[in-house]
Amino acid sequence: MALLQIAEPGQSAKPHQRKLAVGIDLGTTHSLVASVRSGQVETLANSRGEHLMPSVVRYLADELPQVGVKAQAHLVDDAANTVMSVKRLMGRGIEDVKRLGESMPYLFEACEQGMPLINTVSGLKSPVQVSADILRALVQRGESSLGGELVGAVITVPAYFDDAQRQATKDAAQLAGIQVLRLLNEPTAAAVAYGLEHDEQEQGTIAVFDLGGGTFDISILRMEQGVFEVLATGGDSALGGDDFDHEIAEWMRQELQMPTQLDLAQLRFLLRLARWGKELLSDESSAELSFEGWPGDATYADLELTREHMNRLLDPIVSKALRATKRTLRDAKVTVGDIAKIVMVGGSTRSLLVQERVAELFQQPPLTDIDPDRVVALGAARQADVLAGNQSGEELLLLDVLPLSLGLETMGGLVERVIDRNTPIPVARAQEFTTYQDGQTAMAIHVLQGERELVQDGRSLSRFELRGIPAMAAGAAKIRVTFQVDADGLLEVSARELTSGVAASVQVKPSYGLSDGQIADMIKASWTNVEGDRSARSLREQQVDADRLVEAVTIALAEDGERLLTAQEQQGIVHQMEQLVIARNGQDHHAIAKQIEVMAKASDTYAAMRMDDSIKRALAGKAVDQL
């Protein structure tokens, strides 16, 4: 007797068929796509057997753009239309890219939202569009390799990507027609690739050392019974394979006494030669650098670069990475001895110097079993397989963290933190605020990011207004502001007045945001300026208190000062108020606090008189039985 297969309404007639999902590592220099096939996770190759796809797009006048190896071949002869390292532009504004120097030799224009647009023969292209072209090529490779349409993808991002950069990545995926199952932090993906969450012997604290082409990230993760918790993240944008290449290229330029100013083709020739030599020296003790085909009139002799000399050139850069690593260990409140394993990520960790210095710091050899170029994509593919429903009982709990604190602007230009940095996400936090003036019916809500105490030193994320607040005395209204950060690190802020129920909200989707380096700089600035920030915050708080007291006493004197006080008593209060205004306009918060105390004592008797007078007037003309 044959079995009859029955499908539930709305379910596939083949309920056991695997859903096709991929993990995508959208990298600065190279990108990869990976998937789980026949129970094994693997990166997917193109028709030529190449797994790594250069993150390069070349735009043509009347043809579809070239992506990958074909585009990379034109970095020198068609530099203005061949875009590389676009990941460094994601979430940035036009002013940011002007500081990137010669490594971004494109013709930029700004759009209304401030996003940088690249002027090509195919028209203006935003970083989101360029990234979408790269993602589209990766998806096509995935569908071709897997033989069907994808249900979605897990896309990895640096742990330091802020809300704007994550949103830009999601926008690029949407433009490419990809369903994003999740944005996954690159360090977490690397740990997943090693399967550390399933190995009972590897439970504990893990360091993920991610040195890629354009950025350096260090993350400290704790893993226990399948739960990934990111304890702290750190990094430095002035580190990466690109910086190694520039250091070697500058050495070549000086050795051969080349002009200080090279044209774009010559600069890229040097960088390409530097990269070739660097990669060769991972296996060899010396490399011959040939200048045959130099794009210029001059001719130059070949150079020999030894591994020992290269290590001397690169050691200061590696030392910066190790300093950032030590800071992140302090943030995570762990010591070197607490680290069970070190996972190496990124092509630049192939450098023997990097591996030796990391082993020296952590007093144990790092894990290098998995190709550091592929490890992130492999981890993303494992998570994609889970989220697609192919491993319903094996879902991992991934607890990433916020890279920077989130808060609101309060009176006096101060920042009130609502969620601290390194808080695990997803997370929701609420805090109650109130009105500053009598009869206030609206409140402007300014959402900020950063570690500093003053609004002027933070990063503005969004503004919105809550209107319809019932007119009440200052301080009587109760406004609850709620911050919600989802698993992708995207933020929504809502505000509600509790007595009336009026509400407003905003999904924070700025057109561009911070680079990983700016985030690192903001954290460093918060450490450097901690004492100054505390003093500035205290000064602003005392100034706000002084303003409130002066305003309240001024209104009271205008209403009944002459009726309740003698001229001498009025003059005494006014004199103290004038002294408070003088102190308030100074820079000594201790002097302001002292004068507030003096002013409060001077007006206490008057306040009591006003209270008695108010009660007498309320009772005037009423019989006892009416009370």
Catalytic residues: 25, 87, 186, 210
443 and 479 in contact (C-beta within 8 Å)? yes
Give the single-character DSSP code of 75. T
Hey, what are 439's tokens?
A: 């009869």
d(CA 364, CA 205): 14
The residue length of the chain stands at: 627
Q: Which of 305, 240, 239, 296 is nearest to 269 (CA)?
A: 296
469 and 497 in contact (C-beta within 8 Å)? yes
Residue with tokens 């003093």: 535
Give the single-character DSSP code of 3. P
Angstrom distances, CA of residue 486 to CA of 166, 400, 427? 12, 10, 7
Q: Which of 415, 419, 446 is nearest to 430 (CA)?
A: 419
Q: Which of 17, 24, 67, 112 is nearest to 512 (CA)?
A: 112
Angstrom distances, CA of residue 571 to CA of 16, 565, 575? 88, 10, 6
d(CA 344, CA 352): 12
Tell me the backbone φ, ψ of residue 99, rounded to 5 degrees.
-95, 5
d(CA 290, CA 304): 9
153 SS3 class: strand
d(CA 460, CA 483): 15
Give the single-character DSSP code of 161. -
d(CA 199, CA 45): 29
d(CA 83, CA 74): 10
Q: First vs last Cα of the chain: how many Å apart?
A: 92
| Amino acid letter, residue 519 | I
d(CA 108, CA 97): 8
